[in-house]
Structures are given as structure tokens and as C-alpha cells.
Structure 1
């Protein structure tokens, strides 16, 4: 059985996922409406810019973790296809029970390495305590007895020198089967899986792309989890074999990536436009302050000091909205800037309107690296002013527009209250009569 800490962590993630699915607590805790829930997005029930393709682009270009969603979408598709298999084929791959998963997880627990302490060995030399053997104690510099980082780096360098590049095509293997076999061997599994099981070729491809060490879309999982899932996949191709990995991936998507994606989508302008809006807000505030100060120092009556209220109001409201990533001008039109990777697309309608992702992208051997894509250099050549006035497109998702409306109203209300307070303070100050 796994340790209590590991078991509680897995159980907490599964319970959190179940609560998110059944009651939408994940959305409520992050202030996300049910219309923009994770399940609605991955099922294609939302409009741009909140579709699953937009989510994938965010994870790829912003958060750099697209492999999580790619693997999750593949697993949903795989589970649906598995459910349609005849019973005779399903019988070849039995279900991987939770007890089997926990046993495999416990079997892969790391053994605390022992280290020889030179001082203790020298003190006990030629005594009855040594008995011709070495004396091992915990390293004083490492109370938990874990390997040093340098030793781990050496192992990684040795592994990379053996396998070459992280790309599947350059690993030195001719087929996905050989890559999967090597992954099984690295996990200490000697015998080959049953080739007669359904979807065995596809499973070996998934191992080579997502599970194997240094694979092109390697999931961010521990070595213990990797060995556990490989043990399960060596025995069966049943979807339950991915239970431990899927729990980690789905928890990351629901609790971290999805809320971050919604917050990022609320921003209707690119970074230059938001910086420009913040600058306008600061300029409005400074202009209102200077105008009120000059009127207060003059011999003009108090009612004149109310005139700069407009500058205060516009400046503060614009700054509050821009602080949350919104441009009030774009919001007034319910527009947003087109993303850089959409801006130079040959077929923008296909990028902006497609609500699903092709199944072939799940098992693609290419990495998620995008630094060499053509749009990167072309967008980098644009000057700052041109980026401020980039192409715009209408925000189609109603739920997203409601969130933006709420932020806009908060900015208006905040700007009005703060402007009234500041102008009231200036009106209470006696006039200076300096000119």
C-alpha cells in the first residue's frame, strides 16, 4: 500500500475533481460562471474566444503545458472508442483495479540510499562493530538521505547521451514499439506486453509520445507515477490503466490551467494596448490633479474645482479596467484584439471559429515548441504603435461579455466614488488667492 501522504494526495485530487464535475465548485471558487466551466469548454459548448482550440493555444503559447490538454482529449476519445468495442475484445484487456494500482505504486517507492560516513568508519576501524563491512549512516548534509543534485544531473546526462534527442525520430529507435519496450525496461519491466490486446499499437504510440522519459510531449509526472502507469500498460490496454496519470493531468487542468485561461481571456487587448490604456489612465489622473491644484491656488470660487472631476473619473476608471487587462474602448465595441498566432493565419476563420481539435493532433510526434513558427518573427517586427492598433474581432461568447461588463461597471463605480472623494477634498480646501 502507498504511504498515507501519497494516498491522501491522490484521494484529495480525485475528490476535488468529482466535486468540480458534480457541483461546479471549481468554477464558483474562482468566480467563473457555469457557462465557461471546464467541461463545457472541452465538449465544444462555448464560442470564441473560449473554445477548446483557444484553450489549447493558451496552454501552448502562454502556459507552455499543452501536453496536458492533448493527453486529456486523447484519453476522452480513447475511452469513448473503448466503450464501443465488443465484449470479446474487451475481455482481452481486463480492468486495472484500484488495488492493483496502489500495489504497483507502493512497489515503486524510492529506496532511501545509504551513505558511508568517513569519520564514523575511521573511528570504528578495527573494532567489533565493523565486522569487515562498511558502516553507513545518513549524510549530515542531507538528513533525508536523498541523492545529490549533481548525481541526478549525471544520470540525466548519461540518459540523454544514450538516447540522443528528445524527439521521437532521433531517439535511435525505428518504431514506437521499440520505444515503448525501452520505457518498460527503464521501469524495470522485463517481459513484453500482450500484443493481441485491442489498441496495443496506439498505446505504444502514446507511451512514446507522452509517457516515456524524454518523449516529445512528456507529461510532468514523477518517476514513480511513470513506472506505475507503465506497469499497468504492460498488463492491459484498459482505460483504467491511466488512472494515476489522468488524475494528475485532470487536476492540473481543472484547478490551475482552466481558471488561468479564463482570467487571461478576459483581457480584451494585447499587452501594448493595455500598457497604453494604463498610460492614459495615469495621464487623466495627473491632468485632474494639476487642474484642481491650479484652481485651488487661484482666486476662483469653489464650483470651478468640480470641473476636473471628468479628468479624474476617466483616468481612474480607465486605470482600474486596464489593471485587470481590459481596454474600455474595445469593451465599448465588445471587441478584442486578435492573438499574434491568429493574426498571420492563412485562414483566420478556421482558427477563430473551429470548436474542436482534430484527433490527429493528439498523437502527433511533433513537440509543442513554437519559437520557430513564422508568426513569431513577423509579429516581432511590428512596432509598438502598430501593435496598439492591431486588428480586432467581436467577442462571441455571451458569458465572457457578461464578465467584462461586470468589470467595466466596477471600474465606472470605482472611478466615480474615488473621483468624488478627491474632488470633495479639493473643494474643502480654502482658495489660495495667489493669482
Structure 2
């Protein structure tokens, strides 16, 4: 029987189904998009807003998935026409009030694969949900089911964020860690002495930790906002810089020819367009913004982890395996009845600090890529809400504090939350000619237009300076 008033976790999606909903669609170079480039420069984001309005107005069928890459927040985005990227808040992104590349999924990917600090986001989400469950009813009026739900949620948080063996252990100052460890230990002792007592802490006990992790998360979010404006990865950026410098150098050819052959200085003006265009391309590449991609639409290159997920989806599409793992039972009790957090802390007192769990819990073969097995298959979803009692009884025997399902754990969050082991050997950058996907945020489109216009202004300055120097160079006297 399901726990009253507590939403049950949805069945875990297969890799193929998850790819259909969560992976961004690949784009193609189209001549029509190139013809609309002037509109994107003069009215950035206008075409995206019209597309979002059209998608929002279209009738939705019951079978149609809630695809976040089709503009499900068109109404809200439409109301943010004049909002700048610096005004976008982290709370709005987490709440799902923006479209790609400003979704919770995009922010989570950035934390998982770029900064390796997804635990701060997961702790923030868990504490919000835990506080909501805790404040639902006074302590004297809680039903046994609600007490059990809070206890399971608290136990999962202890094993996830405070156990040394957890890949999502929080990185907090030692004084905060000692304080929360002592609080958790007191709850463990009280629960062992009187099992009928409530074996969990109030949300206020985590306030200091939350303030610290929220500050770290805000710093990561500022870096994330800088990344979303870029439409190219590092390799493409280096190529654009090389191409821009080469184009600028080609503009010197008319000047050199005129000097050597003693021709009219007017022929040197043929280098002006090359000096301007080469500077624009080079400055754009320095900011990881490819002018070619921009001219063909509001697009961005696929990231390395997205390429890997496409490979995973293609590999797993032929498999029909589908498992369901109980989220709240991810932290099962040990044989003597204690939680894995208590067992890990006792082990930590008797032994020296272990290596980080991200690298120590995965076998060496898990970090090698092959067509049969990919590290992304080991990603485990971190849920926010408990499953029903029937799901818990059916899957509790299979779950453990360190287990991972090949098809991923169930999730009820918009982004399908997961964590990425540090042992994953993903390239630092996508290939130069990697496919691109469409961006659906008018705010990002306006910010990207500003970058292109800034590069154009730099191009004008460099063109004037280079042109003045080249025109002043005298011809070679015979």
C-alpha cells in the first residue's frame, strides 16, 4: 500500500526511453537558417519566442512525453523578454522556469562533468524536500507512515552526504562536519536505545551546512552562466582562433604585393575585409563562440557527455532490460541493524582515511570505453521522494548503499538527477566538427548576440589600426 500523500517514484526509464526525452536533438546546417541571420542580429531571441509560443499553443496528447527540449516553459520565458543573462537566478533554473540551455538538467550536467560537485545540488534539493515533508504536520500529529518516511529520508541523506564511502560526500569545513556528526550519532544512539523514537533530525540542524553548500553552489552557477553563452567547445574555439589569425594574415598579402611591385596604395584596401573578419572569428574563438554556428541559428555544440549518452542509447536500444530500484532503500542497514553511515564512521575511526569513493568504488574496467559497456551505464539516479511501500518491499532486497543499476535508478525530478564517477574518461572537449543542437532560450540568444557584436567592434578597431599601419608603409624603391 502506498504511503498516503507522498508521491511515489516513477518507474526507472530505460536508456532508450531516457535518451528520447532527455537527450538534446541534433541539428543540421540549413540555408534557411543562414538567411534568417540578420533577424537574429537585429532581434535576438524573437524567432525562439515565436517557436516556444507555437509549441505551447499546440495541443498535447496523453502519450506525448514531457520533453524539456520542446519549450515546456514557453509562457514563462515569453514573460522574460528583456531579462539579461546576469539576472537569471539559480532558484529559477532549479525550479524549471527556463528552457535549454538553462534547465536543471543542463546545470546538473555542468556540476557532474565540469566541476565534479553535484553533491551540493543534490543536498540542496534533498533538504528542500525533507523540510517540506517535516513541516507537513506537527510532531504530535504525524502518522506512523510519515515518521517512517522521514526516517528513511534522513537515513538516505546520512549515507549519501556524510558517509566517507559515499561518492556524494559533502565537502564542508571540519568544525561543521564534527557538529553534524555528533548530532547524527546522538540520533543513532537514541534510536538504538528506544526504537520507537523518531530517528531523524529537524531540518534546522542542517542550516549551517546548507548555507555553506548553497554558497558553493552559487559560485558554480555563476560559472555555469558564463558557459551557456558559448556555442563551441575548446577544440572548435582553438580552430576558430587559428582560422581568424590566418584570415587576418591573408589580408596582408595586398600590402606586401604593392610594396614589392610598387603598385598604387589603393590596392591595399582589399585587405580591410579580411582584417575585420579575421579578428571577429579569432575573438569569437577566444570566447568559445563559433561565428559559423551562430550564422546557422541559435545552436551550440554537443558536449562530450552528451555524445557518450548518444552512444549509450544506441548500445542499449536493442536491450529490453528494465529494473526498478527503491530510492529510499539505497542506504540499507547493515547486518547488526545499524545504518551504513554508522558503520562507515566506526570503520573510519579504526582505519586511516580512504581514497575518494569516486575512484575507489569503481573497478578499473569501468573507466574504459567499449561498445559493450560504458561508464555512463553505472550512473545512479539520486531521488527526492520515496517509492511506495510495495515497491520498497519488492526491491529492498536488491538495493544497497553502493549498488548501481545498469539502467539507472528511478527519479521524479525534471532533470533525471544522477551523479558521474570521476573515473569516467570523457574527453575534455568535443571534436572540432561535432554536431550541434538548438538552444531554446531567448535570454541566451540575446547574450550570444552581444558577444558577436563585441567581437565585431574589436574587428573594426583592429581593421582601422592595421589599415593605418599598412597604408603608411612606403613602397619599395627601385
Alignment match, 2:421: 370
Q: Does 1:418 align with 2:468?
A: no
Contact 2:125 2:384 in 1 (8 A): no
Against the structure 1 CA distance between its residues 251 and 410, is the aligned structure 2 distance closer, same or farther, given a 3 Å change threshold? same
Alignment match, 1:7: none
Against the structure 1 CA distance between its residues 407 and 49, is the aligned structure 2 distance closer, same or farther, given a 3 Å change threshold? same
Q: Larger C-alpha radius of gyration, 1 or 2?
A: 1
Alignment match, 2:227: 264
Contact 2:85 2:443 in 1 (8 A): no
1:428 shift after superposition? 2.4
**CA–CA distance in 2 between the matches of 1:317 and 1:251?**
36
Against the structure 1 CA distance between its residues 371 and 203, is the aligned structure 2 distance closer, same or farther, given a 3 Å change threshold? closer
Against the structure 1 CA distance between its residues 224 and 371, is the aligned structure 2 distance closer, same or farther, given a 3 Å change threshold? closer
Listed as ranges, the matches of 1:29-428 within 5 Å are 32-34=85-87, 36-86=88-138, 88-89=140-141, 199-233=150-184, 234=186, 237-254=201-218, 256-332=219-295, 333-343=297-307, 344-345=309-310, 360=383, 368-370=419-421, 387-428=431-472
1:411 shift after superposition? 0.2
1:289 shift after superposition? 2.8
Contact 1:198 1:237 in 2 (8 A): no
Against the structure 1 CA distance between its residues 230 and 370, is the aligned structure 2 distance closer, same or farther, given a 3 Å change threshold? closer
CA distances 1:202-259 after superposition (whole Å, capped 9, x unpaired): 21221111013343311111232112123344455211110111011000111x1001
User: Tell me, what secondary structure is at the counterpart of 1:432?
Assistant: coil
Contact 2:247 2:274 in 1 (8 A): yes
Contact 2:116 2:422 in 1 (8 A): no
Contact 1:197 1:237 in 2 (8 A): no
CA distances 1:119-165 after superposition (whole Å, capped 9, x unpaired): xxxxxxxxxxxxxxxxxxxxxxxxxxxxxxxxxxxxxxxxxxxxxxx
User: Tell me, what secondary structure is at the counterpart of 2:228?
Assistant: helix
Alignment match, 2:389: none
Contact 2:241 2:286 in 1 (8 A): yes
**CA–CA distance in 1 between the matches of 2:175 and 2:207?**
14
In terms of fraction of residues, the more helix-rich structure is 1
**CA–CA distance in 2 between the matches of 1:371 and 1:224?**
27
Contact 1:67 1:217 in 2 (8 A): yes
Against the structure 1 CA distance between its residues 313 and 362, is the aligned structure 2 distance closer, same or farther, given a 3 Å change threshold? farther
What is the TM-score normalised by the length of structure 1? 0.59
Against the structure 1 CA distance between its residues 47 and 83, is the aligned structure 2 distance closer, same or farther, given a 3 Å change threshold? same
**CA–CA distance in 1 between the matches of 2:160 and 2:382?**
14
User: Tell me, what secondary structure is at the counterpart of 1:242?
Assistant: helix
1:32 shift after superposition? 4.1
1:361 shift after superposition? 6.8
**CA–CA distance in 2 between the matches of 1:347 and 1:198?**
34
**CA–CA distance in 2 between the matches of 1:89 and 1:361?**
23
Contact 1:272 1:388 in 2 (8 A): yes
Unaligned stretches of 5+ in structure 1?
Answer: 1-30, 93-194, 349-356
Contact 1:313 1:419 in 2 (8 A): yes
**CA–CA distance in 2 between the matches of 1:217 and 1:412?**
44
1:79 shift after superposition? 1.8
Against the structure 1 CA distance between its residues 427 and 215, is the aligned structure 2 distance closer, same or farther, given a 3 Å change threshold? same
What is the TM-score normalised by the length of structure 2? 0.54
Against the structure 1 CA distance between its residues 428 and 414, is the aligned structure 2 distance closer, same or farther, given a 3 Å change threshold? same
- Alignment RMSD, CA only? 3.1
Against the structure 1 CA distance between its residues 222 and 211, is the aligned structure 2 distance closer, same or farther, given a 3 Å change threshold? same
1:87 shift after superposition? 5.2
Q: Does 1:432 align with 2:463?
A: no
User: 422-431 vs 50-59, which deviates more?
Assistant: 422-431
> Of the two structures, which has the highest relative contact order with CA contacts closer than 8 Å and spacing of 6 or more?
2
**CA–CA distance in 1 between the matches of 2:292 and 2:266?**
30
CA distances 1:368-393 after superposition (whole Å, capped 9, x unpaired): 443666xx57x79xxx9x92221111
User: Tell me, what secondary structure is at the counterpart of 1:360?
Assistant: coil
User: Tell me, what secondary structure is at the counterpart of 1:388?
Assistant: coil
1:279 shift after superposition? 0.9
Contact 1:296 1:426 in 2 (8 A): no
User: Tell me, what secondary structure is at the counterpart of 1:243?
Assistant: helix
Alignment match, 1:157: none
Residues matched between the structures, number: 285
Against the structure 1 CA distance between its residues 209 and 247, is the aligned structure 2 distance closer, same or farther, given a 3 Å change threshold? same
**CA–CA distance in 2 between the matches of 1:213 and 1:70?**
17
1:422 shift after superposition? 1.0
**CA–CA distance in 1 between the matches of 2:222 and 2:249?**
35
Contact 1:73 1:362 in 2 (8 A): no
Contact 1:269 1:336 in 2 (8 A): yes
